[in-house]
Structure 1
Amino acid sequence: MAYCETKLAIFVFSSSTRQWRAAASKGWSDLVLSGSESAMMPQVHPLFIRHHYAYGCFYWDWTLFRRKTLLMLDTRRMEFSIVVPPPGEWGKEGFAIVEAGEGRLGMFGFHGESASDLTYTFARNKGENPSQWHMEKTISLDSGYRYYIIAATGRYLLLIRTPDISHENPLFEYFSIDVKTLQLQRVYSDHSRLNLSGTHTYTNFPPSLWSSHTNMQ
């Protein structure tokens, strides 16, 4: 994936020819971005444009520009399209697209001004471009903190919690949410200020690797 001056371009590497080829592209002006926003895109770091993956499709959200659209890339057809998320004001703290089961998309996000109410919504219809959404549940989180969605992978969502007011030595806490049970569990905490944009999740360790990891604890 390359962020060019006028477009987003996708390249595919061929293992047979051992060469890269252009597979798809989409102009910034086609993404419902204004002229000034399109001009900003080459300078925007890719980490600030969150991407998601579900059912063979990548999705990019534009909460950076407060846009209520998602850019979707179908990796099977190598085609771009625009997806409209559930209605409402989704917070800049981010949202995540997950596989809700039976071929349906699910979405977690902070709805409105409150960053302590996490909403889970899923698509009524199957397919990568849903047209009808149903709000399943709102998870009320502890007040007095700021929450941010870091990533989603497999059946888990990763959140980070920071104090709502400034502290000299704040505690940064990581939580996981099971997409199927919607259970919240704290997995890590530390007083060090980690690079949040560089935090990632990894699941499904091979048995031998997980055994080695356990022995090192």
Structure 2
Amino acid sequence: MEAVPNVPPMAAAGLPPEPSPRERLIEAATRLFCRYGINSVGIDAVIAAAGTAKTTLYKTFGSKDGLVEAVLEREGETWRRWFLAEIDGDGGSATERLARIGPALRRWFSRHEFYGCPFINAVGESDKADDRMRSLALAHKKIVLERIAALCAEAGVATPMETAHAIGLAMDGAIVAALVTRDAAVADTAGRVCAAILSAARVDARAPA
């Protein structure tokens, strides 16, 4: 009888390794929180979707709040990596990169799993006297605005951070509008608004003091 060959480990066989319990919890919580809302989803639903024990969740994250923070940090990092690649990936001038904001938003809004911005949603659901969610949202927004401000400065804007905040307001408005209306075309309007903001800021930069 021929010997049965040893089955190679998953990594050696070219298969992705099984996600850790921590990863399964974050992935399950992300799906549930984004679709149904943080307050609507209990711990039992998360551990059932993740296939882990309740004790694993508490040992890993300490509490549901710890899990929420981990989900937001992961979602923020993932979204920023995607968004910045969308506007910077093909190179070009600063103006050309900023012009990609609208098309990037439209691609996001067109996804079946688009449920809005998790940070806006989290702040909206949380106690308005609790700054924890707000702090996480501001840290995320700061990174995005700093990149937009750098592009505005490169495009010749005299007040790049002020202009970046105005563009950020247009983006936030489009995100909320797309969530409510389910109409990805609001991104086109946001793109035109961003272009108008940039154009006005560049005109102001050329105006005599």
Under TM normalisation by the shorter chain, which class is it?
under 0.3
- Over alpha carbons, which structure has the higher Rg? 2
Higher relative contact order (CA 8 A, sep 6+): 2
Q: TM-score if structure 1 supplies the norm length?
A: 0.24
